[in-house]
Amino acid sequence: MYVDNQLRATVCTTFPTGDPQYELLWVCIHVNSRDIVVGALYHPPKPVYQPTAILNHIEACMDILAGESVILAEDFNTLSSDDIVSICALSSIVHHPTRGTSNLDRIYVNDLYYDNVEVVASTVKTDHQAIIAYVGPHMPKLSKRRESRVFRQRSPAQHALLLEHLSQQTINTDSNKDVQNNFDSMYAMMHSLLDTFCPEREIAVTSTDPQFVTPAVKTMLRRKNRLMRAGGTEEAGAIVK
């Protein structure tokens, strides 16, 4: 557990000893003229103790902390969230999966501490997501993932050139071939036409782009920005429209 060095924090030692293999640390933190007791628990996927034993131990700790402000967090794995809520009179504030589709990492509180709870990609190498709980206005996510997408840009001019080319072509099928071979030939010709008149392009999109910003829209936005910087406001306005 890491605590800001501007806060005063001490390890709590007034709890029942319980099984020495319980990985549970209680720390008392002095914040804004009051004490908050924070528990960090790691419940392994295959514990050497029975789940009921650790639940009883947490309940005994909560009895000692009656009247105190408590936060219990960390990796609970398969430990039942409903049992923790009912036995310890705590509320779960993490409602999104943190590892695949499983909600293994959680935060429980007995008071309203946080305005926002976010599940985000971790900054360390792990298959778990990170949880950020904080007070204050909603903060935008700063970590972005870039991904290259391939698409075919289309325009009225390209359509006109393609139609003009097709008007001069004669498409024949070979009656001596079966349907599949004729189809393969037709498909190869169509693909060749696409590559000629609407070639594939690659563009980078990010995880923070709105859902409606497709690769084609991203290309238009970039072109609009280039035109704006070059003083082509009229053409840029046409792209916006």
| CATH classification of the domain holding 70 | 3.60.10.10
Residue 104 sits in the same domain as residue 181: no
Identify whether 233 is part of a domain. no
Half-sphere exposure of 75 (CA within 13 A, CB side): 16
In a domain, 240, yes or no: no
d(CA 171, CA 36): 79
Residue 142: the pLDDT is 64
Residue 213 lies in a domain: no
Residue 223 neighbours by CB distance under 10 Å:
14
3-state SS string for 100-152? CCECCEEEEECCCCCCEEEEECCCCCCCCCEEEEECCCCCCCCCCCEEEEEEE
Low pLDDT (below 70) residues in the chain: 141-143
Element containing residue 195 per DSSP (H, E): helix 179-197
Tokens of residue 140, six digits: 């935008």
Whether the Cβ atoms of residue 59 and residue 88 lie closer than 8 Å to each other: yes
Q: pLDDT tens digits, residue range 195-216? A: 999 999 999 888 878 888 889 8
Please tell me what DSSP assigns to residue 77. Answer: T
Is 219 a member of any domain? Answer: no
Q: What is the DSSP letter of 66?
A: T
Task: Give the structural domain span for 82.
Answer: 8-134
Q: How many domains does the chain have?
A: 2
Q: Distance between alpha carbon 235 and the CA centroid of its chain, in Å? A: 37
In the structure, how many helices (H) and strands (E) does the chain have? 6, 10
Same domain (yes/no): 86, 183: no
Q: Which residue, among 30, 35, 60, has the nearest Cα to 111 in the 3D structure?
A: 35
pTM listed for this prediction: 0.58
Same domain for 108 and 179, yes or no, is: no
Same domain, 68 and 159: no
Report pLDDT for 104: 94
Per-residue model confidence as pLDDT tens digits over 102-126: 999 999 999 888 889 999 888 788 8
Same structural domain for residues 37 and 79?
yes
Residues 119 and 179 in one domain: no
On whether residue 221 sits in a domain, the answer given is: no
Q: What is the pLDDT of residue 187?
A: 92
Asked whether residue 123 falls in the same domain as residue 182, the answer is no
Q: What pairing do the DSSP bridges indicate for beta strands 34-42 and 91-92?
A: unpaired
Residue 84 inside a domain? The answer is yes
Instruction: Mark whether 83 and 166 lie in a shared domain.
Output: no
The sign of the torsion formed by the CA atoms of 105, 84, 23, 34 equals positive
C-alpha separations of 63 from 82, 85, 86, 87, 91 in Å: 18, 14, 14, 11, 16
Answer with the one of 100, 134, 168 that is the final residue of a domain: 134
